[in-house]
Amino acid sequence: MSDNIRGKVIVITGASSGMGEATARGLAAKGAKVVLGARRADRLAQIVSDITAQGWEAIAVPTDVTQRADLQKLVDTAISTYGRIDVLFNNAGHGLPPFRIADTDIDTFDRMLQVHVRAVVLGMKYVAPVMQAQRSGSIITTASVAGYRAGGSSHAYCTAKAAVLHLTRSVAA
């Protein structure tokens, strides 16, 4: 990891476990100011406590990425605390076991799209004006090989990851 992230403000969704947590800890250790969003407030509090005990900077904002107000609050809190956002890492997500299309529960399918696609759109929408005003910023979105290749994962997950890959390319164009 490069040292050029020292002092950068990095907002991370899905920060209470897995890749989001590991990224938050690693970036904080390199001097980034991390703003952690996830649903599990207790886990966020523990991670922030661990990070700040090392003398590094972190804050937590309990966030359900399917809720517009929560994502807006995550962005607003980063701005009110640090005055800028240098990176948004859209990382929140979950998987599903494979199931047949005939057995698809539409509410489950919709939830997959809300978490993996709609939340990414909202995150991008809310940070774009901030980054445009700063004339700098980066948006990173977790994708998957499942977005390129069907099979091995549920069709809901494959569809969501394909959508987020195309969304990210479209926004970057």
Tens digits of pLDDT across the chain (173 residues): 456 999 999 999 999 999 999 999 999 999 999 999 999 999 999 999 999 999 999 999 999 999 999 999 999 999 999 999 999 999 999 877 777 788 888 998 899 999 999 999 999 999 999 999 999 999 999 988 878 787 766 888 889 999 999 999 999 88
- Residue 87 phi/psi, 5-degree rounding, is -145, 135
Segments of the chain assigned E as strands: 9-13, 33-38, 57-62, 87-90, 138-141
Structural domain including 69 reads 3-172
Bridge partners (DSSP) listed for residue 35: 11, 59
Which of 154, 149, 129 shows the shortest CA–CA distance to 139? 129
Active site residues: 157
Q: What is the number of structural domains in the chain?
A: 1
Q: Return the CATH number at 152.
A: 3.40.50.720
